[in-house]
Structure 1
Amino acid sequence: MDVEHVLIVSGLPRPLHPRWTTDDRRPTIPTFMSALFFKRFLKRPFQIASITPSSKALVKRVARKMDFSQPRVIAEYGPGEGVHSREIVRRMPSGSQLLLFELDPDFSRDLRRQFADDPRVHVINGDAARLPEELERRGIPHCDYILSGIPFSILEINKKRALLAKTYDALADGGHFIIYQVTNELRQHATLFERAESEYVLQNLPPMFITVFHKVKRRNGHHRPVRRPAEFSANHSA
């Protein structure tokens, strides 16, 4: 598979109601491609969403969606090389925990090496659907944030909805599910979440949507009625 073909497979998104994200700087185009990341993309193109790791601009913008003013429990689906993981670890205070779910054994091995000296980080070489079991096994009631870079758009519909349901249940009331994706099609499926906000980040190759799904806090012991995310129309496609 040559680079030209890989670029076609990766594709570029068409924005859905984005809040265009531009800085005074030009979009950051990576000048160095991780050999491991590119090698794993070529081997498993449908498990890895992009041919390059996330840009610094995207990583920082994703991290700003999280409040690190107190200890947090955070899970990440598909951390890959760990570019988002490293930023989270840098920001999160002592007493926090970060659970990394990575299917690829080479990435998992590299993540364990990176975070070998940090007891707050747990690397799980397995499916993100194991999150509820891992939380129970570790005596953790809920996550404050769940971050995902896995390409939801290529998941079979029942698997996609099952993972969304497990994600919703694993979040604490008031928790947030944050995704960065080439397309924004997940909004039509994530109907369990009461609110969703998206922005479109140009400073990445390819450009990405960041969407934050909110699990609204209970009122008098009950959640607000579930509704479709604001601004989403099934007539739009990504």
Structure 2
Amino acid sequence: MNHSIFKDLVPSYLEKLTSEETNRQMEKHMKECEECKKYVMEMQEGIFVENNNEHNFEKESIDYLKKVRFKNRRKIFIVAGSLLASFIIITVSYYFLFVYMWIADENNVQKNIQRHGTAVTLTFQSKSNNRYLLAVKDSTNNEYTDDIIMYENWNIFGDKKLNIFSELVMSSRDGVNITYTFLDKNTLLLNNGEKRELTDEDKINIQFKNNIEEIKLKDLYDFKID
């Protein structure tokens, strides 16, 4: 086989594109010609190096993409984690500032009783300017309010845009009022218009943090708190 023709066929031979007959002739020629055999080996090494370089380049590209994806994923996790942490902090802060209430300490409550005609009003006001009181009233055993629990909360942000409880805050800043209407010292006028003759068992229980104050309704008519 002619040397020039052989060398022209080598690329196809290495890519296994030549026929079986051509392969036999080329292999026979390589046995007879050391120079052509060496040429084929050099071509094989070149193709191997080229393929290896392509493989390494592809591997480097894949590794680079993996690193980019990892960094992007990490950034997403960091941003998502930061947003979640901020949301939790804001939610918890809002709860403790505006929603959470605790039973008031009696030492932090200014109590007063005023009588206007036959109406007697109990007034409770926080001694701290940054807090307000809320009275939870209940008629446990009677037709009038006989159980009062005094709660306390932070008196901040009266703006409706910042605090959905702003109306409650504004209405409670001047204190909490609970009024009882008497017909006389021993007779209470109920909300439904009925009369109730008072006994020593008719009492108001005012619950604070550390104790419960008890006031008899019969004594409330003439009762004063210093």
Q: TM-score, normalised by structure 2?
A: 0.20
Q: Which structure has the highest helix share of the two?
A: 2
Greater relative CO, 1 or 2 (CA 8 Å, sep 6+): 1
Report which of the two structures shows the higher radius of gyration computed on alpha carbons.
2
Greater strand content: 2
